[in-house]
Amino acid sequence: MSETQFHTMPDGRRIAFRHVPGTGPALVFLPGYMSDMAGSKAQAVFAWAEAHGRACLLLDYSGCGTSDGAFAEGTLSRWRDEVLSVIAAQLGEREVILAGSSMGGWLMLLVARGLGSQVAGLVGIAAAPDFTEWGLSEADKQMLAEGQTVFEDNPYGPKPTPTHPGFFADAQEHRQLGAAIPIDAPTVLLHGQQDADVPWDISLRLADALRSDEVQVVLVKDGDHRLSRPQDIALLLRTIAAFAIEGDTDR
């Protein structure tokens, strides 16, 4: 069934998801910060999976989309646990291909650590691990450490983008780029060189930090942060299709 369903966490909050059954490693798309499964990339991946008979799982983090909760209470730890819980309930121990966009690329690493050998591949789209470290000024970090919310201009919507102190404190405990990342899955990192939000060298740093020897970085010279133009979506789907073929299984 591909309509929106709800998974209930132990504390009662409901996490919205869409799941289509199919063959091969299940595709799991992880949206970016303040995004949800209605985004163009998530919808394109889901439509591709439906058209090709592949298993796919989308979800909204708590406080996002149609899931319960307040966004101000969201943290990487909280959202990681939600993703792992929905995967366990819907996919069991089936192999997965994780695709993470922007912050979802950071969350992808945390989820992959939790899943271990269950991960058949990773696809990062302008992955932004450690953005609370390199993406904030020292003044902003000080404000967050003192319990204040920081607001930044939002080029994608009318309201400023908040970073809440709870998210910041938790995120600082999950920084990835300062040491080897114990993930061995094949990985492809897509990044636009015109990205004004996440410098494309972050993908190079991530490639270097990953323990896996099967890591490719694909730079899109005229691509922006969202990588949501038709040609960018086509690149994403070609990348996912290659993973799905390589890891084909009918579990």
> Which range of residues forms the domain containing residue 139?
131-174
Query: Which tens digit of pLDDT belongs to each residue from 124-133?
Result: 999 999 999 9
As a whole number, the mean pLDDT across the chain is 95
Give domain status of residue 136, yes or no.
yes
> Whose CA is closest to 223, among 132, 151, 126, 154?
126
| CA distances (Å), origin 53, targets 47, 75, 153, 247 | 10, 33, 41, 14
In contact, 67 and 90? CB cutoff 8 Å? no
pLDDT at position 155: 81
Query: Own/partner pairs for 73-77, CB < 8 Å, 24+ apart?
Result: 73/166, 74/164, 74/167, 75/166, 75/167, 75/170, 75/171, 76/106, 76/107, 76/110, 76/167, 76/170, 76/171, 76/174, 77/170, 77/173, 77/174
pLDDT at position 26: 97
Give domain status of residue 44, yes or no.
no
User: Could you give the count of Cα atoms lying within 13 Å of 231 in the half-sphere of its Cβ?
Assistant: 6
Helix (H) / strand (E) containing 138: helix 138-145
pLDDT at position 228: 97
Give domain status of residue 107, yes or no.
no
Looking at the predicted structure, is the pLDDT value of residue 245 above 70?
no
Q: Which residues, in sequence order, are bridge partners of residue 18? A: 58
3-class state of residue 8 by DSSP: strand
Query: Which tens digit of pLDDT belongs to each residue from 183-197?
Result: 999 999 999 999 999
pLDDT at position 97: 97
Give domain status of residue 163, yes or no.
yes
pLDDT at position 156: 79
pLDDT at position 244: 64
Mean pLDDT, rounded, for 229-235: 98
Give domain status of residue 70, yes or no.
no
Q: Which residues are catalytic?
A: 102, 195, 225
Please, what is the angle between helix 165-172 and helix 138-145, to 10°?
110
Query: Which tens digit of pLDDT belongs to each residue from 205-220?
Result: 999 999 999 999 999 9
- DSSP, res 118: G
Query: Which tens digit of pLDDT belongs to each residue from 58-104?
Result: 999 999 999 999 999 999 999 999 999 999 999 999 999 999 999 99
**pLDDT confidence of 40, banded at 50, 70, 90?**
very high
Mean pLDDT, rounded, for 23-37: 96
Q: How many other C-beta atoms lie within 10 A of the C-beta of residue 114?
A: 15
Give domain status of residue 207, yes or no.
no
Query: Which tens digit of pLDDT belongs to each residue from 138-152?
Result: 999 999 999 999 999
Q: Which residues, in sequence order, are bridge partners of residue 218? A: 190
- For the chain, the domain total comes to 1
Give domain status of residue 28, yes or no.
no
Its pTM stands at 0.95
**pLDDT confidence of 250, banded at 50, 70, 90?**
very low
Give domain status of residue 238, yes or no.
no
